[in-house]
Amino acid sequence: MTVADAATYIQASGRTSRLVAGGLTRGLSLILYWDKKALRSLEKRLIYYFHTFEVEIKEFESLNLEEILREIDEDRRRFREGKGGGGDIFKTTLVVVESPNKARTIAGFFGKPQTRIVKGAVFYDIPLGDRVLSITASLGHILDLKTEGGFFGVLEENGNFLGIYDTIKRCKKTGEQHTEIEYLRKVCGDGEILDKISIIQALRSVAYEVDEVFIATDPDAEGEKIAYDIYALISPLNRRIYRAEFHEVTPRAFVERLKGNEGV
């Protein structure tokens, strides 16, 4: 059995380029091989690692080495002189899904993410090409109608209906959810009560920091309700908010959807 060590190749070849202020310099990696099976194995494993990008190993004879080396030297010279690409190196993107499992799955597509806690909510940060993703979960619905006021939280005014919403609270011991904290205290007893106001605060905090937000809740009626609530709550802090629907959770579908940028 012939299996290439793609991880070591990525680490070694990565030293041919540099991430500097203003962008990423060009690099050139040459592979010396005597076993075609090993080379093919390396190519397959690189495609697996970088399945969202094009991977192509070219024959040395097909390259214009002089031109490539000239471009590399010119690229490095520009960055040394502070004339790099200009603007931001990376775009920062917040992605909100419904479940923690989906958040971990998507983050795991692109390597081992860094985990951080913001106001009690878990965010998975991972670099992806020209952007840095921060992926988190809403844990389902975050708002619901109150049971007090009007008819089960719905007021009628001059023929119009107005819903009164509040954050959802959940008894950690029993799993029961309600918008009224007083009711939940009665049924929860000494159990801890979690208020989704903390998730809202975390989403607002991170949405204010990033360049754009993708709301990737499920493509069904409940997902649309969750997406609308999140949009309404964070839109004052970030106007670049997009709706992302995934009918298949794959790395390629995820990256293609991020490039779509269909506004909410």
User: For residue 199, what are its two tokens?
Assistant: 């998730």
Q: Which residue has the higher pLDDT, 253 or 146?
A: 146
**Cβ atoms of 194 and 119 closer than 8 Å:** no
**Residue 53 confidence class, pLDDT cut points 50, 70, 90:** low
* Whether pLDDT at 88 is above 70: no
**Burial of residue 100 (number of CB atoms within 10 Å: 0-12, 13-18, 19+):** middle
* Whether pLDDT at 263 is above 50: no
| Domain boundary, last residue among 176, 194, 212 | 194
* Whether pLDDT at 206 is above 70: yes
Look at the chain and count its residues: 264
Mean pLDDT for 31-38 is 91
Q: Which residue has the tokens 């309404």?
A: 232
209 backbone dihedrals φ, ψ, rounded to 5°: -85, -30
Domain-located, residue 1: no
Q: 203 and 180 in one domain?
A: no
Domain-located, residue 86: no
| Domain boundary, last residue among 33, 55, 80 | 80
Domain-located, residue 230: yes
**Residue 262 confidence class, pLDDT cut points 50, 70, 90:** very low
The one-letter code for the residue type at 205 is S
Maximum distance among all alpha carbons in the chain?
82
Q: Rounded to an integer, what distance in angstroms lies between the CA atom of residue 118 and that of residue 59? A: 48
Calculate helix-pair angle for 221-234, 197-209, nearest 10 degrees.
Answer: 60
Q: Which of 93, 121, 124 is nearest to 209 (CA)?
A: 93
Host domain of residue 105:
91-141+196-260
Q: Which of 67, 92, 93, 76 is nearest to 23 (CA)?
A: 76
Least confident of 36-45, 86-95, 113-122: 86-95
* Whether pLDDT at 261 is above 60: no
**Residue 31 confidence class, pLDDT cut points 50, 70, 90:** very high
Q: 177 and 58 in one domain?
A: no
| Domain boundary, last residue among 178, 194, 210 | 194
Q: Which residue has the higher pLDDT, 19 or 62?
A: 62
Q: 13 and 37 in one domain?
A: yes
Mean pLDDT for 105-132 is 88
Around 16, how many Cα atoms within 13 Å sit in the side-chain half-sphere?
Answer: 13
| Percent over 70 (pLDDT), the chain | 91
The one-letter code for the residue type at 54 is E
**Residue 225 confidence class, pLDDT cut points 50, 70, 90:** very high
CB atoms within 10 A of CB 46: 19
Q: Which residue has the higher pLDDT, 80 or 105?
A: 105
* Whether pLDDT at 19 is above 60: yes
* Whether pLDDT at 264 is above 50: no
**Cβ atoms of 102 and 63 closer than 8 Å:** no
Q: Rounded to an integer, what distance in angstroms lies between the CA atom of residue 229 and that of residue 238? A: 14
